[in-house]
Structure 1
Amino acid sequence: MFKVLFHVSDNETWPKAVLNVQNFLKDVGKDGAEIEVVANAAAVVTYYNQEKADLLDQMKQLSETGVKFIACRNALNAHQLDENSIPGFVKVVPGGITEIVAKQAAGFLYIKP
């Protein structure tokens, strides 16, 4: 089984990142990978953007297959976003970079779409 970490740090990258995850899962199957998507910096804003409802729906569907979506608390605070209003499928971690380092140390392969 593959362990893969996708890192998204800007809002413009989200559509490509979601498509990358979808295509990867088509290739390996949902049981062929453990996938985490970490958003930090400006990318956390997309989690709150109702104009991106289709993209958020795709993320939610992926989460239902086991893909984990992560938001950096430091970035949420920097953008004055309420952690309690984040979609239910998103987990908040203290620091996005710390999460990335921890996952890489645990053997996850790093992808920056």
Structure 2
Amino acid sequence: MDHVIFHIDEFQKWKLLLNNVKNLLLSYDNESSNISVEVLANSEAVKGYIDISDSVDKNSLEVLSQKGVTFAACNNALLAMDLSKEEIFSFVKIVPVGVRELINKQQEGYAYIKP
């Protein structure tokens, strides 16, 4: 199985990142069980997990989540952006420290992608 972690820390790059994730999943076609994808947002990008703009479509995130994509938010970034866990989408997991999550995933063999 292939493992990939997408890292986003710039809010304006959400559309690009989501297109990258969708294209990757399409490339696996009917083999989606052969890939594990996580999207980690930190810094200002955690705002993509709340309903604030047209930049990030909650529905698109939910569809990807239902296809097995894990969405994660850095707790430190949430605190810095003054966001509570109740404000972000319910399917998003919160990790204590985003950069630590990146380190852990890379040590587990995840490929690192940052659009």
Per the TM superposition, whether the score is higher than 0.5 is: yes
**Which consecutive aligned stretches of 4+ in structure 1 deviate over 4 angstroms post-superposition?**
none
* 1:74-105 alpha-carbon deviations (Å, 9 max, x no partner): 00000100112211110001011000000000
Map of 1:51 onto structure 2: 53
- Unaligned 5+ runs, structure 2: none
**Counterpart-to-counterpart distance in 2, 1:101 and 1:52:** 31
AA aligned opposite 2:74 = C
Map of 2:73 onto structure 1: 71
Map of 1:28 onto structure 2: 28
Q: SS where residue 86 of structure 1 aligns?
A: coil
**Counterpart-to-counterpart distance in 2, 1:62 and 1:53:** 16
Q: Please state how far the C-alpha of 1:26 moved relative to its aligned partner.
A: 0.4
* 1:7-53 alpha-carbon deviations (Å, 9 max, x no partner): 00011110000000000000013212100000000000121133238
- Alignment check: 8 A CA contact 1:25 1:32 kept: no
Q: 1:93 aligned to 2:107?
A: no
Q: Which moved further from structure 2: 31-40 or 54-63?
A: 54-63
**Counterpart-to-counterpart distance in 2, 1:2 and 1:52:** 31
In terms of fraction of residues, the more helix-rich structure is 1
Map of 1:9 onto structure 2: 9
**Counterpart-to-counterpart distance in 1, 2:54 and 2:68:** 21
Identical-pair percentage? 38
Calculate the TM-score normalised by the size of structure 1.
0.94
Q: Which moved further from structure 2: 60-69 or 29-38?
A: 29-38
Q: SS where residue 50 of structure 1 aligns?
A: coil
Alignment coverage as a number of residue pairs? 113
- Alignment check: 8 A CA contact 1:11 1:42 kept: yes
- Alignment check: 8 A CA contact 1:46 1:52 kept: no
